[in-house]
Amino acid sequence: MSTADPLGQVFSALADPSRRHVMDYLAARGTATATELTGELPITRQAVAKHLATLAGAGLVSSERRGRETRYRLTVVGREWDDRLGALRDHLDRRKET
Amino acid sequence: MIRREIVFPVPREELWDALTEPERLEDWFANEVEVDLRPGGAASFRWSNGEERHATVTTVAPEERLAFAWDDEGEVEFTLSDDAEGTRLVVVETAPAWTTALDLQASALAHVHG
């Protein structure tokens, strides 16, 4: 898929019902591993991994390694909290300096 | 549901104060903050862009758990625990009416413009 057509990438990522189920699940749970998603959907783990890669390529899902597992979440949900927690970290740093 | 987990290199008391004292909150969360720190207490947050939000405190367990419900919609819960490198903070925000469709729209726009 070409990055020259980001909106097309988003639409084609969403065109598949299994991928929409993956997104519904992530929206409801916050985060999930590929194994957890495989337990929820009537598809193989390999297919889940492929769907996650497509969703990540479209910028809809991001992953985060925690120990031995990789957790996935919807990219946009919670961006506000990423900003707030960054501000909290800066606030605590400033207090340490004085 | 939104869940974030982060470890700050500070003692629990320091993090608790940053989450609950209005003058501390005014340095990172909002521009003007009022909090009545007890279950059922009112909290209000004002931002310099004119936005204003009100909430009701639902749980206060010092240095352990703080929760409040936004008056418009949703609940926020902070949980503090010890960590080898300081204090672990888990933030969970739930809002019943969030729909995947809305989130997707924002996500698609962010991707296109980002």
Between A1 and B16, residue with greater pLDDT: B16
The per-residue pLDDT for A55 is 92
Q: Which of B49-53, B64-68, B77-81, B85-89 has the lowest mean pLDDT?
A: B49-53
Q: Do B1 and A29 touch (CB under 8 A)?
A: yes
C-alpha A62/C-alpha B29 separation (Å) is: 25
- CB of A86 within 8 Å of a chain B CB? The answer is no
Q: In what order do the strands lie in the sheet with B42-46?
A: B2-8, B86-94, B75-83, B65-70, B52-61, B42-46, B32-35
ipTM, 2 decimals?
A: 0.85
B13: containing domain: 2-113
Give the pLDDT score at A52: 95
Q: Is B45 helix (H, G, I), strand (E, B) or coil?
A: strand
pLDDT at A24 > cutoff 70: yes
Residue ranges per structural domain of chain A: 6-97
- Can you give the C-alpha Rg of chain A in angstroms? 16
Distance from C-alpha of A85 to C-alpha of B23, rounded to nearest angstrom: 17
pLDDT at A10 over 90: no
Q: Do A87 and B8 touch (CB under 8 A)?
A: no
Contact of A45 with chain B, judged by CB distance below 8 Å, is answered with: no
Q: Tens digits of per-residue pLDDT, A38-96?
A: 998 899 999 999 999 999 988 888 888 888 889 998 876 677 788 899 999 999 999 98
| Residue B28 to residue A84, Cβ atoms within 8 A | yes
Give the number of residues written for chain A: 98
Which helix (H) or strand (E) segment holds residue A29: the answer is helix A17-29
Report the domain count for chain B: 1
B102 touches chain A (CB under 8 A): no
Top CATH class of A6-97 equals mainly alpha
- Mean pLDDT estimate for chain B: 88
Q: What is the CATH number of the domain that holds B46?
A: 3.30.530.20
Closest approach of B99 to chain A, Cα-based (Å): 8
- Show Cβ contacts of residue A5 under 8 Å, excluding neighbours closer than 6 positions: none
Distance (Å) from the alpha carbon of B40 to chain A's nearest alpha carbon: 24
Answer yes or no: do B1 and A30 touch at CB < 8 A: yes
> pLDDT of B44-66, one tens digit each?
999 999 989 999 999 999 999 99
Assess contact for B86 and B18: CB atoms under 8 A. no
Q: Which residues of chain B lie closer than 8 angstroms to A14, CB-CB?
A: 104
- Predicted confidence at residue B29, as pLDDT, reads 96
Greatest mean pLDDT among A21-25, A59-63, B1-5, B51-55 lies in: B51-55
pLDDT in tens, B88-112: 999 998 865 444 555 556 656 666 6
